[in-house]
Each structure stands twice: as structure tokens, then as C-alpha cells.
Amino acid sequence: MSPEPLVNTAEYSTPALLFFAAGGLAWALAYMGVLREIVRRKFVEIPATAVAGNIAWEFTWGIVHRTDLGALFVWGYRTWFLLDVFIVWGLLRYGVRHLATPRLRDYFRLAVVLAILAFTATLYLLVRQGYDTSTGLVSGYMVTLMMSALYIPQFFRERDRAPYSPFVAWCKLLGNGLVIGFCVLVYPENRFLLTLCAVTLVLDVYYVYLFHTRRVPKAA
């Protein structure tokens, strides 16, 4: 068996790999931006359901299954997973603050743990059933679309929108946009995946628009 290449240029073109790498880097920066707010303000801006979906995807694709993009990307997925472990820790520690009701706090952590387990099993079986690409992007964009959709109502619901980070909003949009570039180049025939990409992009652009128009409430 030949050793795994650092970057799989045999199956993927250099521009496609650059799109993916740049998008992956933007996502790593977005995660760092989220972590920064967790440390500075004890605030987790990613919706709880999306955090559960993300860590499940990263566990499935970083640890259990292996992308065929090359060793560099395998470790990239694992870096996402590691960063997300800290985000999950932040969610379990500070996420209950979003609920503002003592009674629900009793169930929040249990619900997060159960959601992570349910997402992990679902994604693992989805991949095992052969519904995903060898890079994990079908399941990845299912989770990302859900996150992009959930960001909008959560942003509206939050009384204090100041802790939401413009850096994260832009990195998320840029990261998704660049990986979508990869999808367009590598999977032009997979119209389901491209639909997921398009809907995610629309939601991300709308979130950035919302962010810049409504982050600071209008003066009465």
C-alpha cells in the first residue's frame, strides 16, 4: 500500500485543494473567534444544536472516517475537532446562560450530550450507508446549513447582540464560500450538494447583512 500523500493532487486539482484549504483555514479562524468570546465574555455565539452537529461531524470525519484529500487535510479536520472540543466545553459551561431560566438549566447539559450522541450516530451511519462524498461534504453541508439557519433566529432572540463577533460572521461566510468553490469544481454533477451549498450561502449572506444592520439596536 502506498503511503498517504500529504496533499492528494492525483485526484484533486491544485485550485480545488487551495479553495478547500483556504476555506478550512477561515473556519479554523472562525472557531478561534468563537473561543475568544467564550474566554473574554463567557458567551457562546454558535447555536447549541449547531455545536452538537459540528462536533459530531468533526468526530465522524476527523477520527472515525478519513478524508481522501491527503494527510494535511486529515489533520485539518482533527484541528477543527480539537477547537470544537473547547467550544463544546464552553457550551456546557456557559451555554445555560442563554436560557435565563433556572428550571431548564437542569436539563440543558443532558440535552446537549444526547444531541451530540444522536448526531454522531446519525452521521456515522449516513457515511457508512454510502450517502456522503469521500470528503464528507454532503453531511458537512447538511450540518452547516442547519447552523446557518439557526444563527438567524438566535441572533434576533438575543437581547444583547454586542458579543456577536463580526470576525466570526465574516470568517464563517468566507469559509463556507471557499469550500463551496471546492464543491463547484469537484462535484459539479452533485446537484443535491450544490443546492445545500447555495442555500447555506444565501443564509450566511443574510446573516452578515443582519449583523451589520441590527447588531446595535436603533435608538428609541
Partner 1 sequence: MPVATTEWFNTSQYPATLLILFGVGCFGWVVAYVAIVRNALRNRFLEIPAGAVVANIAWEFVWGFLYPNELGRFFSWGYRVWFFFDLAIVYLLFRWGARQVELPELKAIFRPACVFGIAAWAVGIYFFVGEGYDTGYGAISGYILNTMMSALYVVIILRHGQLHDFSLLVAWSKMLGTALLTVFNFIVQPHNPYLLFLCLLTLALDLLYIGLFYGVRSGRAADLAAATREGAR
Q: Residues in the site for partner 1, rule: CB under 8 A? A: 99-104, 107, 118, 121-122, 125-126, 128-129, 131, 153, 156-157, 190-192, 194-196, 199, 202, 214
**First-last CA distance in the chain:** 69
Q: How far apart are CA 66 and CA 132, in angstroms?
A: 12
14/129 with CB nearer partner 1: 129
171/186 with CB nearer partner 1: 186
Closest CA to 145 of 34, 42, 25, 50: 50
Tally of helices (H runs) and strands (E runs) in the chain: 7, 0
Q: Quote the DSSP letter at residue 64.
A: I
6/121 with CB nearer partner 1: 121
Least Å distance, CB 106 to partner 1, is 9
3/102 with CB nearer partner 1: 102
Least Å distance, CB 142 to partner 1, is 8
Give a three-class secondary structure readout of 73-94.
HHHHHHHHHHHHHHHHHHHHHH
Least Å distance, CB 166 to partner 1, is 19
Least Å distance, CB 159 to partner 1, is 10
